[in-house]
Amino acid sequence: MSTSPSPGIPFFTLRTEPDGQQCDAWPEHTLLDSMEQGGIAWPSSCRSGNCRTCIAQLAQGQVRYRMEWPGLTPEEHASGCVLPCVAYPTSDLVLEVPSI
Ligand code: FES
């Protein structure tokens, strides 16, 4: 699991579980944009961190947000839930469909 893109390769790797699909995750693109560009279908609606349609469980890796507090409860945030439409990768990632 990398915490910075490999030299000469300016992107991370994103894998979804349980289906095992994989795509490039670009640091300046949201996870949702990277998944769509990589051909991975993921539910979405508002694309602005409000509706929670895209919610996912971060099984491995780290993300950052450009907004102060995306539409997650503190409990969800602490349990590793992320909103791929407004989250940016800072490492290789594994996303799971959430169990909540
Ligand atoms: S698509 Fe609405 S919160 Fe991500």
Is the minimum distance from the CB of 31 to ligand 1 under 6 angstroms? no
How far apart are the C-alpha atoms of 61 and 79, rounded to whole Å?
Answer: 13
What range does the domain containing 74 cover? 12-96
- For the CA of 86, the closest atom of ligand 1 is 4
In a domain, 65, yes or no: yes
Tell me if residue 34 falls in helix, strand or coil. helix
The whole-number pLDDT of residue 77 equals 87
In a domain, 80, yes or no: yes
- For the CA of 49, the closest atom of ligand 1 is 3
Residue 76 in tokens: 């969800």
- Could you read off the pLDDT of 41-68 as tens digits, one per residue? 999 999 999 999 999 999 999 999 988 7
In a domain, 91, yes or no: yes
The whole-number pLDDT of residue 65 equals 93
In a domain, 48, yes or no: yes
In a domain, 29, yes or no: yes
* Secondary element (H or E) of residue 57: strand 56-60
* Secondary element (H or E) of residue 35: helix 31-37
In a domain, 4, yes or no: no
CATH classification of the domain holding 18: 3.10.20.30
Which of these, 89, 97, 99, lies nearest to 31 by C-alpha position? Answer: 89
Q: How many domains does the chain have?
A: 1
CA–centroid distance, 71 to ligand 1, in Å, is: 8
In a domain, 33, yes or no: yes
In a domain, 5, yes or no: no
Q: Read off the pLDDT of each residue in 21-28 and give the average, rounded to a whole number.
A: 97
Q: With a cut of 80, say whether residue 2 has pLDDT above it.
A: no
The whole-number pLDDT of residue 67 equals 82
